[in-house]
Amino acid sequence: MIPDLYEYEKYIYSLPSKHPAIKASTLIVKRTSAHSAQIIGTLYFGNELALHVLETVDFLESKIVDYSYEVFHGIEKLYWYDCWPHPNKPELASTHPHHKHIPPDIKNNRVLAPNLSFTSPNLPFLIEEIQNLASTF
């Protein structure tokens, strides 16, 4: 469940202290109305890994309404997640609209993203995924 704005803000700003793999954070919570905000910025990990975050959250409805999460190694984009609908892709139906773009042909090669949600924070999964990825570099 998405917590209220105050608790989510505390959560975002406490990520580096709760996850030692995060070396630095530029994440900010930018309020866009009394009940919504955008989370914008980057989480930096070791081995030149970074997670660029753009989330729009509606706290009145307790849900993420839009997101993009991009993972980089240095300047190379490794993959990204988004929730742009692709209704003509039946292979993505089970996690619609959540999906992951992966190489080769990163723009058009999409796979299921069963761990992403509109109703609970996605960052814990993404942080764990990047921590696991770090050992391969």
Band of pLDDT at residue 136, cut at 50, 70 and 90: confident
Q: Which two tokens stand for residue 12?
A: 């975002």
Average pLDDT of 64-89? 95
pLDDT score of 101 more than 90: yes
Is residue 96 over pLDDT 90? yes
What is the per-residue pLDDT across 26-52, written as a single tens digit (0 to 9) for each? Answer: 999 999 999 999 999 999 999 999 999
The pTM for the full model equals 0.95
Q: What angle do CA 83, 89, 95 make, to 5 degrees?
A: 45
The residue among 1, 27, 31, 30 whose CA lies nearest residue 14 is 27
Which amino acid, 42? T
pLDDT, tens digit (0-9, with 9 covering 90-100), for 54-73: 999 999 999 999 999 999 99
- Average the pLDDT over 88-107 and give the result: 93
d(CA 98, CA 34): 27
Predicted local confidence at residue 134, as pLDDT: 87
Give the rounded percent of residues in the chain with a pLDDT score beyond 70.
100
